Amino acid sequence: MKTLRFSALTEVLSRKPVHSQAPSDKISDYFGNHVFNEDAMLAFLPKEAYKSVKEAIVTGAKIDRKIADQVASAMKNWAMTLGATHYTHWFQPLTGTTAEKHDAFIDPIEGGRVVERFNGGLLVQQEPDASSFPHGGIRNTFEARGYTAWDPTSPAFIIDKTLCIPTVFVSYTGEALDNKTPLLRALAAVDEAATEVCQYFDKTTTKVIATLGWEQEYFLVDTALFAARPDLVLTGRTLFGHAPAKGQQLDDHYFGSISSRAQAFMRDFETECFLLGIPTTTRHNEVAPNQFECAPVFSECNLANDQNQLLIDVMDKVAIKHHFRVLNHEKPFAGLNGSGKHNNWSLATNTGKNLLSPGKTPKTNLQFLTFFINTIKAVHRHDDLLRASIATASNDHRLGANEAPPAIISCFIGSQLSQVLDELEVQVKDGKMTPEEKTNLKLHVVGKIPEILLDNTDRNRTSPFAFTGNKFEFRAVGSTANCAFPMTVLNSIIAQQLKDFKKEVDALIESSELTKDEAIFQILRNYIEESKSIRFEGDGYGDDWVVEAGKRGLNNIKETPYALEFLKEKKVLELFESCNVMNQVELEARHEILLEQYQMTIQIESRVIGDLVRNHIVPTAIRYQNTLIENVKGLKDVLGDAAKDASKEPLDMIIKISEHISALKSNVDKMIEARRQANKIESTEEMAKAYCKNVKPYLESLRDSTDRLEMMIDDEHWPLPKYRELLYTR
Ligand code: ADP
Ligand code: MG
């Protein structure tokens, strides 16, 4: 009998490579061709409408109905030149993925005929039947209406002959039902606060944007093998699998040459990205076999996040053509490197200055230090909220699991900048400085920064939040995450911190003899002192850090339902309210939804593992045990009494297999009972915690018995593709 596993392997080996052709050898010939970008707007929009849209993008000004009609018609005409027949409002509900409902452009006219039509009303607002998106209690079923509304700051694009219009998704009463709305509000808050602070240094700064450059890690698995692993299909990760004899210990995959099959896929999906204006530039092998990374050039945060969501979608579609499935899960394979989505973040001004990049003069360096130190201070103030912002069942496998940043939030800045901060702390005296002191500070501390950053090569890969020369890298974000929530949190805490900084500096100038620069130095010095406990330069993966962090009073919460408790803190609500990012209802809804998602993820995994144990593993074990029993009987027939010695080995195995089978059976029963008990709990939070404490441990114990059986049972009998096949089949 041929198992599904062997059929899958045969199928993989018979694969022919897929060849695709990019529209041109030169990327610049077709980059952005499927985006309603500047060029398309200039070609299709009347001048007046073009100006309005540009203004809406920069200042957030409203677009009136007449202009909206013109934009809609231009978008439709442009889209039709590319063969589009449908349009959709593309939004990001709190499921963490994207949603779309397509409508044809057609409008009936007399004589049973139709014309293509698209007007401003349809562009600006839609009312999708939204009752089945997660809302965390914001909408009860009577008021199930939700609206999507056009976000002109992210350009429309075409996929599969459909014009996709990025939109926000809000309830009838205006509460955010999506990931984009709070992000846009946080970006507005950080713009306002950072622009005000920039005024200390440069009056020409009138706008500050947050920039985001994400790096996406993923695995590729052949579709046939994927389909033969119900755990991968239903949960995105392997719930069983004995470690292969060769894992990643040789480090021979990282930056190794990319297999031609994987490369054909990458070329094809990058072509799609380029058409969609996503500037993916980097591709390389990651640490684990069949693990890869791609990264674009960074851009404005909201656009970058939309592009990340789009890329994940595009990757899946293109992968299927190449008979691959993309695994975005944070930990598809136990014992191997997990996948993250590093979020590189900075602030940039309308004048083109990166505020986290030191300048050439002491003055611009003081601006750099201001933003740099305020960022550290904000992280110190809200480390727990940052932890909560990346908490999911799947990221729990990564954080603190010895090869990803730990669940303790800390900030790495490098030895040289640490020295600068230490010197500032010592040299800035309370009150007025002498001219000598000031000169010394400017020349020897602040003035030195650009030089030292040039050779600042000490990068710490174990830090969850690291300064990397001209940006911070939030490395603890999970590979499945929608960057919007961590970016909403980060930009909000920076906005709040900068606002407070401005207030403190202004008050100090008002109440003392200090000059503006002296006051800034003074407040920054206080921040350096107050936020010291968040700075950590050592090995974040080590056990020593766990102990040290405990002494510093930093939290180390490894499980999502507990990490999410931070969302209930008063200071978190105050933060979001003060920046107009979320109100209490919106925040509570998010907490509720994140808990529900956690509980449902564990529930699904638990059901899948239970089914697989009963339908795949135990029957296979029994079948193999029967062949051993036949073997023992046969030995006895042939050898008679002399069979005793020869039967020892198979008899031992028969007994061991029986032990594993009974452990599996009893643990499945206990796990089902634990679920039954947990399901009775009224409170979402308590239910999530019960799943975490009482159900999740069975996933481990069931896996343990199964992985042992995998090593005992004849390879011919084993029903599921093994790790070595999933990871090494090219
Ligand atoms: P790595 O972290 O892998 O060593 P790099 O430091 O070269 O890689 O860059 C990582 C990412 O940082 C890139 O995707 C890049 O687009 C992004 N990045 C660079 N500068 C900025 C910035 N000012 N703001 C946001 N992201 C940035
Ligand atoms: Mg990186």
CATH code of residue 153: 3.10.20.70
Q: Is 180 within 8 Å of 92 (Cβ atoms)?
A: yes
| pLDDT at 250 (0 to 100) | 64
Helix crossing, 584-612 with 696-712: angle to 10°? 30
Q: Which residues fall within 8 angstroms of residue 626, CB to CB, at 6 or more apart?
A: none
Tokens of 309: 């969501």
- Centre of ligand 2 to C-alpha 457, Å, is 14
Q: Is 247 domain-assigned? A: yes
Contact 308 CB / ligand 1 (< 6 Å):
no
- Mean pLDDT check: name the lowest of 218-227, 458-467, 634-643: 458-467
Q: Is 629 within 8 Å of 657 (Cβ atoms)?
A: no
Q: Is 612 within 8 Å of 663 (Cβ atoms)?
A: no
Task: Give the CATH number, domain containing residue 286.
Answer: 3.30.590.10
Model confidence at 455: pLDDT above 60: no
φ, ψ of residue 484 to 5 degrees: the values are: -60, -45
Are both 505 and 613 inside the same structural domain? Answer: no
Q: Tokens 């300064």 appear where?
A: 467
Give percent above pLDDT 90 in the chain.
Answer: 72
- Mean pLDDT check: name the lowest of 39-53, 75-89, 419-433, 614-628: 419-433
| pLDDT at 141 (0 to 100) | 47
Are both 173 and 195 inside the same structural domain? Answer: no
Model confidence at 355: pLDDT above 50: yes
φ, ψ of residue 382 to 5 degrees: the values are: -130, 35
Tokens of 617: 């593993």
Contact 349 CB / ligand 1 (< 6 Å):
no
- Mean pLDDT check: name the lowest of 93-97, 143-147, 154-158: 143-147
Model confidence at 26: pLDDT above 60: yes
Q: Is 588 domain-assigned? A: no
The last residue of a domain, from among 151, 178, 205: 178
Contact 580 CB / ligand 1 (< 6 Å):
no
**Amino acid code (one letter) for 31:** F
The DSSP annotation for 85-136 comes to -EEEEEB-BTTSS-B--EEESEEEEGGGEEEE---HHHHHEE----TTS--T
Output the CA–CA distances (angstroms, integers) from residue 226 to 5, 120, 231, 313, 458, in the order listed. Answer: 10, 44, 9, 18, 40
The ligand minimizing its distance to the Cα of 405 is 2
Residue 423: Cβ-neighbour burial (10 angstroms; 0-12, 13-18, 19+): middle
Give nearest CA residue, ligand 1 atom 17: 213
Sign of the Cα pseudo-torsion (621, 623, 626, 628, in order): negative
The three-state secondary structure class of 177 is coil
Tens of pLDDT along 357-380?
Answer: 987 777 778 999 999 999 999 999
- Centre of ligand 1 to C-alpha 346, Å, is 10
**pLDDT (average), residues 428-445:** 81
Cα maximum dimension of the chain: 106
CA gap 255, 293 in Å, rounded: 10
- Mean pLDDT check: name the lowest of 16-25, 194-203, 485-494: 16-25
φ, ψ of residue 434 to 5 degrees: the values are: -75, 160
Task: Give the CATH number, domain containing residue 675.
Answer: 1.20.120.1560
- Could you say which DSSP state residue 589 is in? H
Q: Indicate the helix (H) or strand (E) that contains 658.
A: helix 648-679
Helices (DSSP H) in 176-259: which residue ranges? 180-198, 223-227, 230-235
Tens of pLDDT along 121-147?
Answer: 999 888 876 667 788 777 654 466 788
Q: Is 621 within 8 Å of 612 (Cβ atoms)?
A: no
The ligand minimizing its distance to the Cα of 282 is 1
Contact 378 CB / ligand 1 (< 6 Å):
no
| pLDDT at 255 (0 to 100) | 60
The last residue of a domain, from among 178, 209, 235: 178
- Centre of ligand 1 to C-alpha 298, Å, is 7
**pLDDT (average), residues 383-391:** 97
Atom of ligand 1 nearest to the CA of 356: 23
- Mean pLDDT check: name the lowest of 52-66, 556-570, 584-598: 52-66
> How many CA atoms lie within 13 Å of 632's alpha carbon, on the beta-carbon side?
16
- Centre of ligand 1 to C-alpha 295, Å, is 8
Give nearest CA residue, ligand 1 atom 6: 468
The ligand minimizing its distance to the Cα of 308 is 1
Contact 474 CB / ligand 1 (< 6 Å):
no
Length of the chain: 730
Looking at the DSSP bridge assignments, the partners of residue 466 are 412, 473
Are both 372 and 440 inside the same structural domain? Answer: yes
| pLDDT at 254 (0 to 100) | 63
- Centre of ligand 1 to C-alpha 280, Å, is 12
Mutate to test the pocket of ligand 1, among 344, 375, 473 (most ligand atoms within 8 A of CB): 344
The three-state secondary structure class of 222 is strand
Q: Is 237 domain-assigned? A: yes
- Centre of ligand 2 to C-alpha 304, Å, is 16
| pLDDT at 76 (0 to 100) | 95
**pLDDT (average), residues 692-707:** 97
Range of the domain at 666: 597-728
- Mean pLDDT check: name the lowest of 17-21, 485-489, 599-603, 710-714: 17-21
Q: Is 613 domain-assigned? A: yes
Tokens of 445: 């501390």
Are both 39 and 128 inside the same structural domain? Answer: yes
Contact 293 CB / ligand 1 (< 6 Å):
no
The pLDDT-based confidence of 436 (bands split at 50, 70, 90) is confident
**Amino acid code (one letter) for 645:** D
**pLDDT (average), residues 325-337:** 94
Are both 105 and 236 inside the same structural domain? Answer: no
CA gap 66, 516 in Å, rounded: 48
Q: Which residues fall within 8 angstroms of residue 226, CB to CB, at 6 or more apart?
A: 232, 233, 325
* Structure-model confidence comparison of residues 451 and 647, the more confident one: 647
Contact 295 CB / ligand 1 (< 6 Å):
yes
**pLDDT (average), residues 450-461:** 65
Atom of ligand 1 nearest to the CA of 344: 26
Q: For the chain, what is the domain count?
A: 3
**Amino acid code (one letter) for 629:** I
Instruction: Label the pairing between strands 208-222 and 341-349.
Output: antiparallel
Give nearest CA residue, ligand 1 atom 3: 215
Q: Tokens 């596993």 appear where?
A: 5
Tens of pLDDT along 51-62?
Answer: 999 988 888 788
The ligand minimizing its distance to the Cα of 210 is 1
Contact 410 CB / ligand 1 (< 6 Å):
no
**546-562: string of b/e by CB count within 10 Å (b at 16+)?**
beebeeeebeebebbbb
Q: Indicate the helix (H) or strand (E) that contains 218.
A: strand 208-222
Contact 297 CB / ligand 1 (< 6 Å):
yes
The last residue of a domain, from among 178, 209, 240: 178
Atom of ligand 1 nearest to the CA of 354: 23
- Centre of ligand 2 to C-alpha 331, Å, is 18
Are both 494 and 368 inside the same structural domain? Answer: yes
Model confidence at 550: pLDDT above 60: yes
Give percent above pLDDT 70 in the chain.
Answer: 95
Atom of ligand 1 nearest to the CA of 348: 23
Are both 196 and 118 inside the same structural domain? Answer: no
Are both 233 and 335 inside the same structural domain? Answer: yes
Tokens of 219: 């695995």
Contact 371 CB / ligand 1 (< 6 Å):
no
Task: Provide Rg for the chain, Cα atoms.
Answer: 29
Q: Is 26 domain-assigned? A: no
**pLDDT (average), residues 392-412:** 88
Are both 565 and 675 inside the same structural domain? Answer: no
Contact 468 CB / ligand 1 (< 6 Å):
yes
**308-322: string of b/e by CB count within 10 Å (b at 16+)?**
bbbbbbbbeebbeeb
- Centre of ligand 2 to C-alpha 284, Å, is 12
**pLDDT (average), residues 273-290:** 88
- Centre of ligand 1 to C-alpha 418, Å, is 21
Give nearest CA residue, ligand 1 atom 11: 213
The pLDDT-based confidence of 295 (bands split at 50, 70, 90) is very high
Looking at the DSSP bridge assignments, the partners of residue 349 are 208
The ligand minimizing its distance to the Cα of 474 is 2
Number of helices (H), then strands (E), belonging to the chain: the values are: 28, 17
Q: Is 25 domain-assigned? A: no
**Amino acid code (one letter) for 147:** Y
Atom of ligand 1 nearest to the CA of 357: 23
- Could you say which DSSP state residue 354 is in? B
Q: Is 688 domain-assigned? A: yes
Are both 473 and 495 inside the same structural domain? Answer: yes
**pLDDT (average), residues 318-335:** 95
CA gap 680, 695 in Å, rounded: 14
Are both 631 and 551 inside the same structural domain? Answer: no
Contact 213 CB / ligand 1 (< 6 Å):
yes
Q: Is 21 domain-assigned? A: no
- Centre of ligand 1 to C-alpha 344, Å, is 6
The ligand minimizing its distance to the Cα of 301 is 1
Are both 469 and 614 inside the same structural domain? Answer: no
